[in-house]
Amino acid sequence: MTCYSKHTIDIRKFETGIMKKIVCLLVVVLEILSGVAFICAPANAARNELTLTPADADFLMLRDASLRGDIALAGRIADRLANYPIPSYVEYYRLYPRLISAPEGEIRAFMDKYAGTAIADRLRNDWLLLLGHAHIWRTFDEQYPLFTLNDDTQVKCYALLSRVNKRENVAKQARELLLQPNQYGVACAELIVNLYKEKYFNTDDVWHQIRLAAEYSQISLARRLASVTDATEKQLALAIDKPGSVIDRGIVAPRTSHELFIIALGRVARHEPAKSVKALNKVLNRLSAEEQSLAWAQIALQASLQLSRDAASYWSRTWGVQLSQDGYQWRARAALRAGDWSMVSKAISSMPPELQKDASWVYWHGRADKAQGRNEEAQKHFQSIASLSNFYGLLANEELGQKAMVSDKPVAPKSEELAEASNNPGFQHAFRFFDLGLRFEGNREWNWQLRRMNERQLLAAAEFARQSDVLDRMVTTADRARVELDFTHRYPAPHDDIMHTATQPMGLDKAWVYGLIRQESRFVKSARSNVGASGLMQIMPSTAKYVARKIGMVGFTLNNLNDTRTNITLGTQYLNMVLNNLGGSQTLATAAYNAGPGRPRMWRATLEKPIEGAIFAETIPFSETRNYVKSVLANATWYAALFENKPQSLKARLGYVMPGDANLPELGDLP
């Protein structure tokens, strides 16, 4: 028998208002995560559809009451679900809204009872946030090593804060962690302030974090951190909200004035880069060499995002100072776009070591070495990522003389291997959640089971997902394999009869369409994004109406948008319209499908000469679209290899992007 102390978290240690905010934050985070995947109807068409019972309806009501923080209602509903098939979630949703005041023994009992499960780890995450905020370090330090996923930046900040409380110098670890201000929350802000107060962070560290906060538009964070500097909240507010007045005033002697001026330069450069450049040139002789570099970096980043031809020149004045993660990468991207391979090498070599190891920069470092005649070094870079099947792995292999080719299928899973997968409790829970329309919870349960699976178990799990017609989990599972590679699991091609009918008359590349669907919806037919895009090809309602009208689709209503045939017909027709209007470039058309057709035209209009499709894709200023284009075209390359059974070139698919005039009436009225 396990013994527990009977005390609860002392609510008196919390400021009531702050704690309400934390509870709300936890609820909002879970709500957001629940919508990260797709809001969709039951996904298991190949299995017997679950008819929702009164108990299922109660479970959905319980979840809603819990996330809204309705303790009384959650308790009453949970009482009615004593025999529900997923008791761990019933107990979690009963406990979650009262986690602040629940006896510690009850929390521990839940985690002991469901040890090793996804939901126990989720509760530990919730509890660690509360323990960290309350500074109950003994319990926090005991629980933190047990947090399996350890994927919460705020929890990591509390872990470092606990060590600061013990007078440990964790400045190095903090600098490595504190890179994305949009993930900080209250925990990381408190960590930065305490590191400064304990003299583990200096003034340079704090101002670096304030600049980061301003760059990421985390204004409340910037104001919180400014409280430990000589800057007043009013001064910082002016630099962020009315930056033109700050740069017009120039700088005075105190360092604070210099820092605020640098921040204001970046804010003005978002809309008026020329004004920022002019203002900086006026005061250069009053800034130190380091301050000058930081100031140019503020302007250079915004110039890069606007694809200005001056961006590389601005970046060339920024060596030797600490940049943001985006800053380091856009310095290299600006050099790529300018065709300055020497600067590309220097920019990548100047990145933090972990960033240099990213496959993207390994590949481009190899390209820079090759362009400068360092062929042996280039080969080493390419070989180090050649085993990857992603965008950069494919490009690296082409540099090594090898195109994408599908390998032979592994030995099919045996009946006992499939039986093990079908009897996996986590997979059974996942299917139950999918039937209830709770895709986030289902994905969490499924993915939790994959963490410790060997190659054969992954292969069996992917095949089990295929037989159950849950193709998104099949793809996710197959992507984890490194040896037992079944490309029909990784790159499924369902609805081929519909796809052939839709693409063949237009001569549209079927591999490309499948590559796009794999990225858009992972073949979840009822997928719906948080902005309203629907179905396999994630079509927006306005686009669907436009295309249906253009092609004369009779009787179309938005209720038909998730119908497989209708969705594929409309999606392929629109994709073909975009392709034709963008000169036949799959690179541009893929970007247009994600970001709208007008933006790729504007990006192309900034070119002075033809540019490799890979460089164009790398320098797309929208991170979502940049990653989307890479993923879709890499997918399409593998699909083509699968369909045609012969080597395929990603480079050829990317092609070259030609300069164009953004004002030409090329797009017509395409939405």
**Which are the catalytic amino acids?**
520
| 3-state SS string for 267-298 | HHHCCCHHHHHHHHHHHHHHCCHHHHHHHHHH
**Which residue intervals of 3-117 are DSSP H helices?**
16-34, 54-67, 71-79, 87-95, 104-113
Residue that has been written with the tokens 């004369």 in this structure: 552
Sign of the CA dihedral running 544, 547, 550, 553: negative
Integer CA distances (angstroms), 48 to 374, 386, 396, 431, 495, in order:
60, 42, 45, 11, 20
3-class DSSP state for residue 611? strand
659: left (phi over 0), alpha (psi -120 to 50) or beta: beta
d(CA 57, CA 60) in angstroms, rounded, equals 5
Residue that has been written with the tokens 């490194």 in this structure: 482
Number of neighbours of residue 405 by Cβ within 10 angstroms:
14
* Nearby residues of 40 by Cβ (< 8 Å), 6 or more positions away: 437, 439, 524, 526, 527, 528
d(CA 1, CA 595) in angstroms, rounded, equals 58
d(CA 582, CA 655) in angstroms, rounded, equals 13
For helices 219-226 and 203-215, the axis angle rounded to 10 degrees is 160
In degrees and rounded to multiples of 5, residue 187 shows phi and psi of -65, -50
Two tokens at 114?
A: 């469901």
Two tokens at 2?
A: 């396990």
3-class DSSP state for residue 227? coil
Number of neighbours of residue 45 by Cβ within 10 angstroms:
11
In degrees and rounded to multiples of 5, residue 115 shows phi and psi of -55, 140
CB 175 within 8 A of CB 167: no
Number of neighbours of residue 112 by Cβ within 10 angstroms:
11
Closest to 138 measured CA to CA, from 112, 171, 165, 115? 165
d(CA 250, CA 283) in angstroms, rounded, equals 7
CA 583 to chain centre: 30
Q: What is the CA radius of gyration of the chain?
A: 27
Closest to 299 measured CA to CA, from 287, 312, 290? 312
d(CA 189, CA 164) in angstroms, rounded, equals 14
Integer CA distances (angstroms), 623 to 215, 626, 630, in order:
15, 5, 11
Sign of the CA dihedral running 269, 177, 133, 148: positive
CB 643 within 8 A of CB 636: no
In degrees and rounded to multiples of 5, residue 70 shows phi and psi of -85, 90
d(CA 669, CA 597) in angstroms, rounded, equals 10
In this structure, which amino acid lies at residue 395?
Answer: L
Two tokens at 662?
A: 């953004």
Residue that has been written with the tokens 């609805």 in this structure: 495
Q: Maximum distance among all alpha carbons in the chain?
A: 77
For helices 185-197 and 118-134, the axis angle rounded to 10 degrees is 40
